[in-house]
């Protein structure tokens, strides 16, 4: 990268620092600057280029990286070709597709998840997550030794299960009772087992994703004045897609090699959150159940302190306001 571009990028951030400059504040300011395009980017792949993957692809394209991205559907190859250099078909449940291209890259985002359906199909969860990670592990075993690689895996704060609303950091025990959580925790273990002195593995545990086209606040508001058939006392957690993209870029920039919760600051129960949204919109409050109506529950005040302490700043820290 030309030295003048780096100088301008750092100087613009430094000039905004008003008092007692320190490294964490500098990182936060740099995160808000538009990043300079790299003349010689890295070779990076997005495995499962869906809602989040596409947004990451746009950011990485802007940074100047050569990009690969996968979909299970042939009809999406055209749209992905607008975003990445090499769109490919990969389906972890289909042995005729493979990840051979991934054996020689600088960075990989693992963001595949079973396609949406109203019912959670446990077999499909196992085949998608565990089958996919098994295929990735085998591919990376064939990787030339000594070449550095950054992996980022998108997991879920759902793994904490029902902690009765307790404040929950990354060291809290994960839930082994629910079979979906068992799969997600096993997936985290599989990706962590790839870690080596040359391969860094960052696991980002996400909250429920919202953003353009996934308007969770509007969905919650639509309950105004009605009855929500869920336990309003449970505390879920949330993350805006923009902050996931920034979190993934941050993980790459910082070379993160650990597990981090990536959730915003909203630590409200479902009912409290909806009440605030309704009050702000001048709408009648919704009624909620006070008993669990689903067997898979997240009820935890998930802390984002660990990633914040590294200097990460959220652009959407709260869902209300």
Which spans of this chain sit near ligand NAP (rule: CB under 6 A)?
Answer: 48-53, 71-73, 76, 90-93, 111-116, 128, 132, 154, 156, 206, 208-209
* Closest C-alpha among 229, 222, 230 to residue 297: 230
Q: Which is nearer to ligand NAP, 13 or 133 (CB)?
A: 133
CA–CA separation, 217 vs 52, rounded Å? 18
Q: How far is the CB of 240 from ligand NAP (least distance, A)?
A: 11
Q: How far is the CB of 113 from ligand NAP (least distance, A)?
A: 3
* Closest C-alpha among 87, 68, 304 to residue 207: 304
**Closest residue by beta carbon to ligand NAP:** 50
Q: How far is the CB of 112 from ligand NAP (least distance, A)?
A: 4
Q: Which is nearer to ligand NAP, 29 or 84 (CB)?
A: 84
Q: Which is nearer to ligand NAP, 31 or 56 (CB)?
A: 56
Q: How far is the CB of 30 from ligand NAP (least distance, A)?
A: 25
Helix, strand or coil for residue 181? helix
State the pairing for strand pair 162-168/299-302: parallel
Q: Which is nearer to ligand NAP, 99 or 268 (CB)?
A: 99
CB contact set of 153 (below 8 Å; sequence gap of 6+): 110, 187, 188, 191, 201, 202, 203, 204
Q: Which is nearer to ligand NAP, 58 or 198 (CB)?
A: 58
CB contact set of 3 (below 8 Å; sequence gap of 6+): none
Q: How far is the CB of 149 from ligand NAP (least distance, A)?
A: 19
Q: Which is nearer to ligand NAP, 250 or 311 (CB)?
A: 250
Q: How far is the CB of 195 from ligand NAP (least distance, A)?
A: 19
**Is-contact 289 232, C-beta < 8 A?**
yes
Q: How far is CA 46 from CA 27, 89, 178, 261, 268, in A?
A: 25, 12, 28, 20, 32
């Amino acid at each position: 990268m030309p030295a003048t571009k780096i100088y301008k990028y750092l100087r613009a951030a430094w000039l905004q620092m008003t008092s007692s400059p320190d490294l964490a504040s500098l990182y936060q300011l740099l995160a808000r600057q538009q990043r300079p395009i790299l003349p010689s980017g890295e070779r990076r792949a997005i495995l499962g280029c869906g809602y989040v993957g596409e947004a990451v692809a746009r950011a990485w394209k802007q940074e100047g990286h050569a990009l690969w991205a996968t979909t299970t559907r042939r009809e999406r190859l055209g749209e992905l070709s607008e975003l990445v250099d090499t769109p490919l078909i990969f389906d972890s449940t289909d042995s005729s597709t493979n990840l051979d291209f991934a054996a020689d890259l600088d960075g990989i985002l693992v963001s595949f998840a079973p396609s949406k359906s109203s019912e959670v199909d446990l077999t499909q969860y196992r085949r998608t997550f565990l089958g996919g990670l098994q295929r990735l592990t085998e591919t990376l075993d064939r990787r030339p030794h000594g070449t550095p690689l950054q992996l980022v895996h998108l997991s879920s704060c759902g793994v904490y299960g029902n902690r009765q609303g307790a404040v929950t950091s990354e060291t809290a025990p994960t839930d082994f009772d629910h079979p979906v959580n068992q799969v997600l925790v096993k997936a985290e273990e599989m990706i962590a087992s790839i870690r080596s002195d040359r391969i860094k593995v960052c696991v980002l545990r996400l909250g429920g994703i919202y953003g353009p086209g996934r308007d969770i606040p509007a969905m919650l508001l639509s309950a105004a004045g009605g009855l929500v058939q869920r336990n309003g006392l449970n505390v879920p957690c949330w993350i805006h897609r923009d902050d996931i993209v920034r979190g993934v870029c941050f993980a790459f920039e910082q070379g993160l090699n650990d597990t981090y919760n990536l959730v915003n600051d909203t630590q409200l129960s479902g009912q409290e959150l909806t009440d605030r949204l309704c009050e702000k919109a001048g709408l009648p409050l919704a009624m909620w159940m006070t008993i669990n109506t689903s067997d898979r529950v997240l009820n935890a005040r998930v802390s984002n302190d660990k990633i914040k302490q590294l200097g990460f700043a959220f652009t959407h820290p709260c869902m209300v306001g």
